[in-house]
């Protein structure tokens, strides 16, 4: 087990490193002079020269690369060209809303998706099952941004129950601050709920037809015990596997959702920085969000290994 | 040896016959599924509309009729007009060109390159190491974020979206093809073909590829759906197709500021994306069912 953990951890490090180098060179490949891009065409040559020195652009490339890689380790990622603020500080403030949004959506999606999938499987071919299948199939096809806008239109504009956009940190607003997150979470988790419901239903139906479930039934165990102790437990593994996959969708969803609801998270930071050509921020934010994604997937793998005794830790290819 | 070879040859022909028979009934099974027919019709309809956009669209998509701003859907403008008085239906028909065109290009490119890489990877150990490390790297990014990174460096543009989404999709296709290849090459009929000294090329194209095709085709429909969503998402964020090229994401994005007074600007383009993605998924489900032997029993009754 320990070897498996170690091995899995070690694969993340070179991957992040190669990614960091790749991001660095992508930025160098950009057309035009970064200093000129920031200052605009009216800048004097002296101003450009000063900014270049400030950004270490006058140094040789290997020095800049070492600087950037060293910065990743020490957490000093340089200053934003646009905001005159340390990038690491910007990233940190943006990280919290995104994490909150993503993890709450994941949790909500897992709860609803698993529940609906299990109910659907137990009541196979009933009216409830058919309705759940139709809803989950349509959920899978709903574009995040469209659903977000429709929810704003319905609950924010027409009914006026929830704020149209904005964000409040938990420290400032307490539980009330969650009201800003309700619509974004609904918009983000819908597609994931659809996929999860479908997969859990299929897995549950598989399990319900297995011999050991039949044995448990014929032993005269109460229905709920058969479902919970025997069938559901085995379905959970599917849920864990899928949550890794769902994270990919949720992070993409967060980028779009944050932009609709004006939530000051990573997605919004990346998009606004792309528009402002604040490349250092774009580069660092994408690095961070990717690292986070790899790390969360790593956690999913570990949970998976704990849950499923069939996973052999040695032979797993990182 | 000779006897065994003829016997195998015999088996192959019978196998080929049954495969052919199955394939014919496969299309029939697919079109017995009403949802698959509807999905197919919607997608071909949209595709045709996209191809013949200049002839089908009632107005010029960029013509601004300032007097007719925010006209609600009606006889004059079936889907209404936007904040500049442009006809929404015409913009969406032309937008289908961008959205569908990008998706078709991305799926064809990544299907071709990804399948080739996957087959190579499944057959040649040394190439496998390299290809898998590169796919690892590309797949380390969450899909939309990877596309964002590429778009950030290339700037808005239709070709750039194709490249960005291609880079996102291709490693996934390669992975799936490789998986299928690895499973198939251990099968008896491949071993038999190898024993009969069939060349690697023949084995790959005659035996592995046709058998790997059905899960791949299902995956391509999902890929198509994913690309439609991703293109719309990128354009919605303002870093996809440039504003002068209408796309479903652009129409949706421009309309959102006027959502309060002009609901159709938000509802219509989203609905188009939703139905297109739904159709791809349903078509994929239909094709998967055709590959599922249980469906045959049901169909034969």
Degrees, nearest 5: CA angle A106-A289-A107: 10
Tokens 């055709």 belong to B290
C-beta atoms of A293 and B141 within 8 A:
yes
Select from B251, B271, B235, B237 the least CA-distant residue to B94: B251
As a whole number of angstroms, the distance between CA A316 and CA A238 comes to 18
Whether the pLDDT of residue A243 is over 50: the answer is yes
Using one digit for the tens of pLDDT, what is the confidence trace for B175-185? 999 988 888 88
As a whole number of angstroms, the distance between CA A110 and CA A99 comes to 16
Q: Which residues contact A265 (CB under 8 A, 6 or more apart)?
A: A94, A95, A96, A97, A98, A101, A167, A254, A258
The mean of the pLDDT values for chain A is: 81
Give the residue from chain A lying closest to B280, CA to CA.
A141
Total domains present in chain B: 1
Q: How far is B70 from chain A (nearest CA, A)?
A: 17
pLDDT band at residue A1 under the 50/70/90 scheme: low
User: Of A97-111, A160-174, A175-189, B190-204, which has the strongest mean pLDDT?
Assistant: A97-111
Residues B200 and B123 sit within 8 Å (Cβ to Cβ): yes
Give the closest of B136, B252, B278 to A145, CB-based. Answer: B252
Lowest mean pLDDT among A35-39, A199-203, B237-241: A35-39
C-beta atoms of B140 and A290 within 8 A:
yes
Query: What is the model's pLDDT at position B105?
Result: 95
- Work out the average pLDDT over A58-62: 74
Q: How far is CA A225 from each of CA A102, A206, A221, A232, rounded to the nearest angstrom? A: 33, 18, 6, 10
As a whole number of angstroms, the distance between CA B39 and CA B282 comes to 7
Q: State CA A237 to chain mean position distance.
A: 20
Instruction: Name the residue range of residue B133's domain.
Output: 94-293
Question: Is residue B298 domain-resident?
Answer: no
Question: Is residue B14 domain-resident?
Answer: no
Q: How far is CA B33 from each of CA A127, A137, B248, B261, rounded to the nearest angstrom? A: 20, 16, 29, 40
As a whole number of angstroms, the distance between CA A296 and CA A258 comes to 20
Give residue limits of the domains in chain A.
Answer: 87-275
pLDDT band at residue A212 under the 50/70/90 scheme: confident
C-beta atoms of B236 and A145 within 8 A:
yes
In this prediction the ipTM stands at 0.81
In CATH terms, the fold of domain A87-275 is: MetI-like fold (1.10.3720)
A 217-246 near B (Cβ less than 8 A) = none
User: Which spans in B124-241 are helix H?
Assistant: 125-140, 143-154, 158-184, 188-195, 200-202, 209-236
As a whole number of angstroms, the distance between CA B39 and CA A46 comes to 62
C-beta atoms of B149 and A282 within 8 A:
yes
Give the residue from chain A lying closest to B264, CA to CA.
A150
C-beta atoms of B252 and A146 within 8 A:
yes
Question: Is residue B69 domain-resident?
Answer: no
Q: How far is CA B224 from each of CA A155, B39, B103, B107, B281, rounded to the nearest angstrom? A: 32, 13, 6, 6, 9
As a whole number of angstroms, the distance between CA A289 and CA A99 comes to 10
Q: Work out whether the CA dihedral B142, B147, B148, B153 comes out positive or negative.
A: positive
Q: Is B145 helix (H, G, I), strand (E, B) or coil?
A: helix
- Work out the average pLDDT over A134-156: 89
Series of mean pLDDT values for 10-residue runs along chain B (301 residues):
50 50 62 85 90 82 77 77 82 89 94 93 86 86 87 85 93 91 86 83 84 86 92 88 85 85 86 93 85 50 30
DSSP string covering B96-140, please? HHHHHHHHHHHHHHHHHHHHHHHHHHHH-HHHHHHHHHHHHHHHH
A 272-311 near B (Cβ less than 8 A) = 274-275, 279, 282, 286, 289-290, 293-294
C-beta atoms of B239 and A143 within 8 A:
no
Give the closest of B142, B229, B275 to A290, CB-based. Answer: B142
Whether the pLDDT of residue A177 is over 90: the answer is no
- Work out the average pLDDT over A151-174: 78
Using one digit for the tens of pLDDT, what is the confidence trace for A102-131? 999 999 999 999 999 988 988 888 898 899
Chain B residues with CB under 8 Å of A15 CB are 136-137, 140
Using one digit for the tens of pLDDT, what is the confidence trace for B113-166? 999 999 999 888 888 888 988 888 888 888 888 898 888 878 888 889 999 999
pLDDT band at residue A37 under the 50/70/90 scheme: low
Contacts by residues B251-256 (CB-CB < 8 Å, ≥ 24 positions apart): B251/B82, B251/B88, B251/B91, B251/B92, B251/B95, B252/A145, B252/A146, B252/A149, B253/A145, B254/B82, B254/B83, B255/B82, B256/A149, B256/A260
Query: What is the model's pLDDT at position B35?
Result: 86
As a whole number of angstroms, the distance between CA B260 and CA B266 comes to 10
Helices B264-291 and B88-123 cross at an angle (nearest 10°) of 30
Please give the interface size between A and B, counted as residue pairs whose CB atoms are below 8 Å apart: 122
Which of B92, B145, B294 to substitute to test the interface with A, most A CBs within 10 Å?
B145
As a whole number of angstroms, the distance between CA B278 and CA A169 comes to 36
Give the closest of B136, B239, B278 to A141, CB-based. Answer: B278
Question: Is residue B138 domain-resident?
Answer: yes
C-beta atoms of A146 and B237 within 8 A:
no
Give the closest of B142, B152, B273 to A251, CB-based. Answer: B142
Domain of B224, CATH number, reads 1.10.3720.10
Main-chain dihedrals φ then ψ at residue A80, nearest 5 degrees: -70, 135
Token duo for residue A215: 């044995």
Query: What is the model's pLDDT at position A24?
Result: 78
As a whole number of angstroms, the distance between CA A149 and CA B70 comes to 18
Give the residue from chain B lying closest to A252, CA to CA.
B144
Give the residue from chain A lying closest to B282, CA to CA.
A137
Q: How far is CA B110 from each of CA B139, B164, B170, B215, rounded to the nearest angstrom? A: 14, 11, 5, 15
Residue B60: exposure state from Cβ atoms within 10 A (0-12, 13-18, ≥19): middle
Helices (H) and strands (E) in chain B, counts: 13, 0
Residues A157 and A108 sit within 8 Å (Cβ to Cβ): no
C-beta atoms of B270 and A145 within 8 A:
yes
pTM here is 0.83
Chain A residues with CB under 8 Å of B132 CB are none
Q: Which residues contact B78 (CB under 8 A, 6 or more apart)?
A: B58, B89
Which of B121, B137, B142 to substitute to test the interface with A, most A CBs within 10 Å?
B142
* pLDDT higher at A7 or A240: A240
Q: State CA B100 to chain mean position distance.
A: 9
Which of A102, A145, A270 to substitute to test the interface with B, most B CBs within 10 Å?
A145
């Amino acid at each position: 087990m320990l070897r498996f953990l170690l091995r899995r951890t070690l694969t993340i490090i070179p991957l992040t490193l190669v990614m960091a180098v790749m991001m660095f060179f992508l930025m160098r490949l950009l057309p035009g002079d970064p200093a000129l891009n920031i200052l605009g065409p009216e800048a004097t040559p002296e101003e450009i020269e000063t900014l270049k020195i400030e950004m270490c652009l006058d140094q040789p490339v290997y020095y800049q690369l070492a600087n950037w890689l060293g910065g990743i380790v020490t957490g000093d990622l340089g200053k934003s060209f646009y905001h005159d603020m340390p990038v690491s500080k910007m990233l940190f403030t943006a990280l919290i809303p995104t994490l909150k949004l993503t993890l709450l959506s994941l949790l909500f999606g897992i709860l609803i998706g698993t529940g609906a999938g299990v109910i659907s499987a137990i009541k196979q071919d009933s009216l409830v099952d058919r309705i759940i299948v139709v809803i989950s199939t349509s959920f899978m096809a709903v574009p995040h941004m469209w659903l977000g806008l429709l929810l704003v239109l319905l609950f924010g504009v027409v009914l006026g129950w929830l704020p149209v956009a904005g964000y409040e940190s938990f420290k400032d607003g307490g539980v009330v601050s969650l009201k800003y997150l309700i619509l974004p979470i609904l918009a983000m988790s819908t597609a994931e709920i659809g996929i999860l419901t479908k997969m859990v239903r299929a897995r549950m139906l598989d399990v319900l037809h297995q011999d050991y479930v039949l044995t448990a039934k014929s032993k005269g165990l109460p229905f709920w015990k058969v479902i919970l102790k025997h069938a559901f437990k085995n379905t959970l593994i599917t849920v864990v596997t899928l949550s890794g996959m769902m994270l990919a969708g949720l992070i993409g969803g967060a980028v779009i959702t944050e932009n609709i609801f004006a939530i000051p998270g990573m997605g919004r930071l990346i998009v606004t920085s792309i528009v402002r050509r604040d490349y250092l921020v774009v580069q660092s934010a994408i690095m961070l969000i990717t690292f986070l994604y790899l790390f969360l997937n790593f956690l999913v793998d570990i949970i998976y290994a704990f849950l499923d005794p069939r996973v052999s830790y040695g032979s797993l290819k990182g | 040896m000779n006897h065994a070879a003829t016997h195998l040859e015999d088996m192959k022909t019978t196998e080929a016959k049954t495969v052919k028979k199955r394939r014919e009934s496969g299309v029939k099974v697919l079109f017995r599924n009403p949802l698959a027919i509807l999905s197919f019709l919607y997608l071909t309809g949209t595709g045709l509309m996209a191809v013949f956009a200049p002839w089908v669209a009632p107005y010029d998509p960029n013509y601004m009729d300032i007097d007719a701003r925010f006209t609600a859907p009606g006889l004059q403008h079936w889907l209404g007009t936007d904040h500049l008085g442009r006809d929404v239906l015409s913009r969406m028909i032309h937008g289908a060109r961008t959205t569908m065109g990008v998706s078709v290009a991305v799926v064809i490119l990544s299907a071709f390159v990804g399948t080739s890489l996957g087959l190579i990877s499944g057959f040649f150990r040394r190439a496998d190491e390299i290809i898998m490390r590169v796919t690892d790297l590309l797949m380390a990014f969450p899909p939309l974020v990877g596309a964002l990174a590429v778009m950030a460096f290339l700037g808005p543009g239709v070709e750039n979206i194709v490249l960005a989404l291609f880079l996102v999709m291709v490693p996934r296709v390669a992975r799936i093809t490789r998986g299928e290849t690895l499973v198939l090459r251990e099968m008896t009929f491949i071993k038999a073909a190898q024993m009969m000294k069939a060349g690697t090329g023949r084995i790959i194209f005659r035996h592995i590829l046709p058998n790997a095709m059905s899960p791949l085709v299902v995956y391509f429909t999902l890929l198509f759906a994913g690309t439609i969503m991703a293109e719309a998402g990128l354009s919605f964020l303002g870093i996809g197709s440039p504003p002068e090229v209408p796309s479903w994401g652009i129409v949706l994005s421009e309309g959102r500021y006027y959502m309060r007074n002009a609901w159709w600007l938000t509802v219509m383009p989203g609905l188009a994306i939703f139905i297109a993605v739904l159709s791809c998924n349903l078509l994929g489900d239909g094709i998967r069912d055709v590959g599922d032997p249980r469906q045959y029993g049901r169909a034969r009754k």
